[in-house]
Chains A and B, each alone.
Chain A
Amino acid sequence: MTDTTRKAARPAAPTAPAGPTPPSAARRTRRWRGVTPWLFLIGPLVLLIAFTYAPIVNMVAYSFTDWDGVSPELHYTGAENYAELFTRPELFEVFLVSGYYLAASVVQIAAALYFATVLSFNVRFRNFFKGVLFFPYLINGVAIGFVFLYFFQDGGTLDAILSLFGYDGDRAWLGTPASANVSLAGVSVWRYMGLNFVLFLGAIQSIPGELYEAAELDGANRWQQFRHIIAPGIRPVLSLSVILSVSGSLSVFEIPYIMTGGATGTETFVIQTVKLAFQFNKTGLASAAAVVLLLIILAVTWVQRRLVPDDKVDLV
Chain B
Amino acid sequence: MNRRTVLALAVGAALLASGCTGTGGTSKGADADAPDDPAKVDGTITVLTHRTDLVQDGTMKKYAAEFNKTYPKVKVEFEGLTDYEGEVKIRMNTENYGDVLMIPAVIEKKDYPKFFASLGTQAERGKKYRFTDYTTVDGKVYGQSPLGVVPGFVYNKKVWNAAGVTDWPTTPAEFLDDLEAIKSKSDAVPYYTNFKDMWPLTQWTNVNGSVGCDTQATTRLAESNPWAQGADLRVGDTLLHDIVRRQLIEKDPTTTNWEASKPKLAKGEIATMWLGSWAIVQMQDAAKQAGTDPADIGFMPFPAQKNGTFCAVTSPDYQQAVNVNSDHKAAARAWIDWFTDKSGYADANLALSPLKDGPLPDVLKPYEEAGVKLLDIDDTKGAEVKSIDNQSEVGIYKPDYRQELVDLARGARKGSLDDFLTGLGEKWTEAQKNLGS
Which A residues have a C-beta under 8 Å from some C-beta of B?
Answer: 49-50, 53-54, 57-58, 60-61, 68-74, 149, 152-154, 156, 172-177, 180, 260-265, 275-276, 278-282
Contact = CB atoms under 8 A, between A and B. Distances in A.
Nearest to A183: B254
Given A72-B114, A282-B390, A176 B86 contact: no
A278 B104 CA distance: 12
A76 to B, nearest CB: 11
9 contacts: A49-B11, A49-B14, A61-B20, A149-B255, A175-B252, A177-B413, A263-B400, A264-B412, A281-B390
A58 B254 contact: no
B15 interface: yes
A265 B108 CA distance: 31
A172 B251 contact: yes
B254 A263 contact: yes
B381 interface: no
B18 A172 contact: no
Contacts of A281: 106, 390
A264 B252 contact: no
Contacts of B393: 276, 280, 282
B89 A70 contact: yes
Rank and list the top 9 A-B pairs by shortest CB-CB distance, nearest first.
Answer: A154-B252, A174-B254, A153-B255, A54-B18, A172-B252, A263-B403, A61-B19, A280-B390, A57-B15
A276 B398 CA distance: 12
Nearest to B110: A71
Interface of B: 11, 14-16, 18-21, 23-26, 86, 89, 92-93, 104, 106-108, 111, 114, 195-196, 198, 251-255, 389-391, 393, 395, 398-400, 403-404, 407, 410, 412-413
Nearest to B107: A70
Nearest to B412: A176
B293 to A, nearest CB: 28
Given A279-B395, A281-B106, A72 B26 contact: yes
A49 B15 contact: yes
Contacts of A68: 106, 108, 390
Contact of A180 (B14, B26, B254): B254
Contact of A54 (B14, B253, B254, B403): B14
Nearest to B17: A54
A65 to B, nearest CB: 11
B93 A70 contact: yes
A264 B254 contact: yes
Contacts of B407: 263-265
Given A72-B24, A177-B413, A281-B390, A275 B400 contact: yes
A261 B23 contact: no
A270 B18 CA distance: 25
B384 to A, nearest CB: 15
A53 B15 contact: yes
Contacts of A73: 23, 26
Contacts of B412: 175-177, 264-265
Given A72-B24, A264-B412, 10 more contacts: A49-B15, A50-B18, A57-B19, A61-B20, A152-B255, A174-B254, A263-B404, A275-B400, A281-B106, A282-B393
